[in-house]
Amino acid sequence: MDEGKKIRVLVAKPGLDGHDRGAKVVARALRDAGMEVIYTGLRQTPEQIVAAAIQEDVDVVAMSILSGAHNYLFPRVMQLLHERGVDDVLVVGGGIIPDEDIPGLKECGIAEVFTPGASTADTVKFIRENIKR
Amino acid sequence: MGWQEIVSRALVRDIRAVSRLISIVEDRRSGFEDAYAAIYPHTGKAHVIGITGPPGSGKSTLVDKIAAEYRRRGKTVGIVAVDPTSPFTGGALLGDRLRMQRHSLDDGVFIRSMGTRGHLGGVARATSGVVDVLDAAGYDYVLIETVGVGQSEVEVASLADTVALVQVPGLGDDIQVIKAGVMEIGDVFVVNKKDRPGVERVVAEIRMALDLAGNVSGRSRAYSGHHGPTGATTGTVDATEVAPWRPPILQTMAESGEGVAEVCDTCDAHMHRLSEDGALVERRFRRARSETMQIASDLIWRGLADDRRALDAAEELAWKVARREMDPYAAGWSLRELIVN
Ligand SMILES: Nc1nc2c(ncn2[C@@H]2O[C@H](COP(=O)(O)OP(=O)(O)OP(=O)(O)O)[C@@H](O)[C@H]2O)c(=O)[nH]1
Ligand SMILES: [Mg+2]
C-alpha cells in the first residue's frame, strides 16, 4: 500500500437541509481516490465541524450546503478555524451556490466552490493540488 | 511547533497538540520515536476498554453512550474508532464518529477515527500508539472501537484492559457466537438491540459457550499460574483467594441508552478485579511484550527492505526455490544467516 502521507478529509453537512446524498457521493469519491474520509453526517453546526476537524487533524474540510445558508455558514466555519489558530487546513465548499456569491466566499477563505455541474474528479484533483501540508 | 512543544502541550491536554501528536504517531513522522519516548512515562493510568463485535452490531452507538455515562460520572474519555481501509485504493470511509457527534463540543471527550491502513486484526498497527497518546494526555478512559469483526480479529485483546464483546440477535447463524472464535477475548458480553426478538437465545448461547470454556474468561484463565517478570507482582495475593472472573452477560438497547450504566459499572468492576488479583500487571506485561516483539519484527522487516544485499540474496534464493534446487526452509535459513551476520 502507498507509503506517502494519507490525505485526511472531513466531509460535513452544515445547516438544516435534510438530505446528504451529494455529500455522500463526494465522500465515496474521495475514499476511492485513496483518501481517509471522516463523514460526520447531517445538520452539523460550524462549531461541531471545527471541533471535529481539529480532533481528526484533517488536511481538508469539505462542506456541502443546499439550504441557501452558505453565506452565513461558510464564513462562520472560516472564522472559527481562524479563532482556533488553524490556518493550514484547505476548506472547500459545494452545493447549490449562485455564481454571484462565489467571489465573496473565496474572499473569506473558501479555497474553491464546486457547484452541481462539477464532477467529483474535479474535487479530487483540486484537493490533491492544493493541500497546504 | 516542534515535537517537544507538541508533547508538552499534549500532556496538559491541549486538544490541537493531542491531535497533532496522534498524527505524528500514526504516520510515523520525523521525530516520532523521540515524541513517543517522551510521552511513554506518562502512560499506564487510563482504563483501556476495547469494544468489538460484528459489523452493525451497535458498537459506535454503545461507545457514544458509554462515553456519555462516564462523562456524567465526571470522568474524561478518549475514543479511538477504527474502520477498514480499502486494500485496493488505500482510502477509507471513517463513519463511526457520525454516531458520537453529541460529544463534539465537550472538551472532556476526544474522538479520533483511524483507518486500518492494511493491518489485519481489527485495529490499525498504530492504534496502540494512539491509545498511549490519549492515556498520556490524561483521559481517564480510552475506548477502542474495532472494525466490525468476523472470525479472527482479536488483536484488541492485547491492547485493552477490558474487552466488551458485542453480540446481537438475528444474525442468522445460531451458534455464531461460539463459531466466531472470539469468545475467549470477552471480559464482558453485551447483547445489544435487546428490543429485537431472539435476545434470550443469544444470552443462552453465550452462557453455554462460557460454561463449556469453564466459566472463566479465556484471558484470565491463561494468566493464572503466571507471575510478572519479577515474580513478585502477584506474590501477596494468592490467586485462589479471589474467585475467577466470570464474564457477565449484559443486555442493552444502545440507541436509548438502556443498560449502558450497567456496562460501565461492569467494566469498572472488571478493572477493580484485575487490580486486585494481579492480573492487570500480567495483562500489561503481555501488551508490552507483544508491542516490543512487533516493533522488533517491523524493524527487521524494514531493515530487510532497505538492505540491497539481502534483497539480492533473497531474489537469488527465491529462484533456487522456484527451480526446485533448494527447499524454502533451507532458503529461509540462508537468508536469515545473511541478515543476522
Ligand atoms: N434496534 C436497535 N438498533 C440499534 C441499537 N443500537 C444501535 N442500533 C442501530 O444499529 C445500526 C448500527 O449501529 P452502529 O453503532 O453504527 O454499529 P457499529 O457496530 O458501530 O457498525 P460498524 O462500525 O459499521 O461495524 C444503526 O442503525 C443503529 O441505530 C439498538 O439497541 N436497537
Ligand atoms: Mg461503528
CATH of the domain at B273: 3.40.50.300
Domain edge (last residue) among B277, B307, B326: B277
Would B282 be classed as within a structural domain? no
Q: Which cell goes with A31?
A: 475514499
Task: Indicate whether A105 belongs to any domain.
Answer: yes
Helix, strand or coil, per DSSP, at residue A94: strand
CA distance B96 to A52: 12
What pLDDT sits at residue B216?
A: 54
Is B48 in the same domain as B23? no
Q: With contact defined as beta carbons under 8 Å apart, do B316 and B326 qualify?
A: no
Residues having C-beta closer than 5 Å to ion ligand 2: B 59-60, 96
Helix (H) or strand (E) holding A92, with range, is: strand A90-95
Q: Return the SS3 of B197.
A: coil
Report the SS3 class of residue B288: helix
**In chain A, positions 21-50, which contact chain B (CB-CB < 8 Å)?**
27-28, 30-41, 44, 47-48
Residues B125 and B21 in one domain: no
Closest by CA to A26, choosing from B102, B90, B91, B114, is B91
Q: Determine the atom of ligand 1 nearest the C-alpha atom of B196.
A: 1
pLDDT band at A51 (very low <50, low <70, confident <90, very high): very high
pLDDT at B154: 82
Identify whether B324 is part of a domain: yes
What is the Cα–Cα distance from B87 to A55, expressed in whole angstroms? 25
| Whether residues B128 and B186 fall in one domain | yes
Residues in chain B predicted with pLDDT less than 70, given as ranges, are 150-152, 172-181, 214-242
Q: Which domain holds residue B25?
A: 1-41
Q: Burial level of B224, CB count in 10 A (0-12/13-18/19+)? A: middle
Is B254 a pocket residue for ligand 1 (Cβ < 6 Å)? yes
Please give the mean pLDDT across all residues of chain A: 90
- The answer as to whether A3 is a domain residue is no
All three cell numbers of B29, joined, read: 513522522
Give yes or no: residues B242 and B305 share one domain.
no
Q: Is A64 helix (H, G, I), strand (E, B) or coil?
A: strand
pLDDT of B95 reads: 94
Please report the pLDDT score of residue B221 as a whole number. 44
pLDDT of residue B227: 41
Domain co-membership, B6 together with B91: no
- Regarding the beta carbon of B61 and ligand 1, being less than 6 Å apart is answered yes
Question: d(Cα B145, Cα B113) in Å, to the nearest integer?
Answer: 9
Cell numbers placing A28: 465515496
For residue B253, the ligand closest to its alpha carbon is: 1
B positions 48-107 inside 8 Å of A (CB): 85-87, 89-95, 97-98, 101, 104-105
Q: Is B113 in the pocket of ligand 1 (CB under 6 A)?
A: no
CA distances from B45 to B88, B115, B153, B203, B218 (A): 38, 26, 26, 33, 24
Asked, for residue B37, whether it belongs to a domain, the answer is yes
Which DSSP letter does residue A95 get? E
Q: How far apart are CA B285 and CA B329, in angstroms?
A: 32
Structural domain of residue A67, as residue ranges?
Answer: 8-130
CATH of the domain at A51: 3.40.50.280
Q: Do B259 and B315 share a structural domain?
A: no
pTM of the model: 0.90
Last residue of a domain, one of B277, B303, B321: B277
Chain B contact set for A6 (CB, 8 A): 27, 90, 115, 117
Residues B151 and B13 in one domain: no
Using CB atoms and an 8 Å cut-off, which of residues 73-132 of chain A contact chain B?
84-86
Interval A117-129 mean pLDDT? 93
Asked if B64 and B150 sit in the same domain, the reply is yes
Which chain B residues are closer than 8 Å to A1 by Cβ? 85, 87, 90, 117-118
- Residue A24 C-alpha from the chain's centroid: 12
Instruction: Please provide the size of chain B in residues.
Output: 341
Judgement on whether residues B32 and B147 belong to the same structural domain of the protein: no
Does the residue B286 lie in any domain?
A: no
Q: Could you tell me which chain A residue has the CA closest to the CA of B113?
A: A56
Dist CA B224 CA B237 (whole Å): 12
Q: Is there a single domain that holds both residue B230 and residue B269?
A: yes
Angle between helices B279-306 and B308-322 (to 10 degrees): 90
CB A13 within 8 A of CB A23: yes
The alpha-carbon gap from A20 to the nearest alpha carbon of chain B, in Å, equals 13
Q: Which residue of B has its CA nearest to A49?
A: B104
Report the number of distinct structural domains present in chain B. 3
Beta bridge partners of A8: A36
Report how many domains make up chain A.
1
- Does a structural domain hold residue A36? yes
Which pLDDT does position B236 carry in this prediction?
45
B94 and B225 part of one domain: yes
Report the C-alpha gap between A45 and A15 in whole angstroms: 7
Q: Which pLDDT score is estimated for B153?
A: 75
Residue A31 lies in a domain: yes
Whether B125 and chain A come into contact, CB under 8 Å, resolves to no
User: Which residues in chain B belong to E strands, given as ranges?
Assistant: 47-52, 77-83, 92-94, 109-115, 141-145, 162-167, 188-191, 249-251
Q: How far apart are CA A123 and CA A125, in angstroms?
A: 5
Return the residue in A11, A36, A58 with the most chain B beta carbons within 10 A, the one to mutate for interface testing.
Answer: A36
pLDDT at B8: 97
Phi-psi region of B28 (alpha: psi -120 to 50; beta: other; left: phi over 0): left
Contact of B51 with B63, CB cutoff 8 Å:
yes
| B258 and B297 assigned to the same domain | no
Whether residue B283 lies inside any domain: the answer is no
Higher pLDDT, B229 or A25: A25
**B105 contacts A48? CB cut-off 8 A:** yes
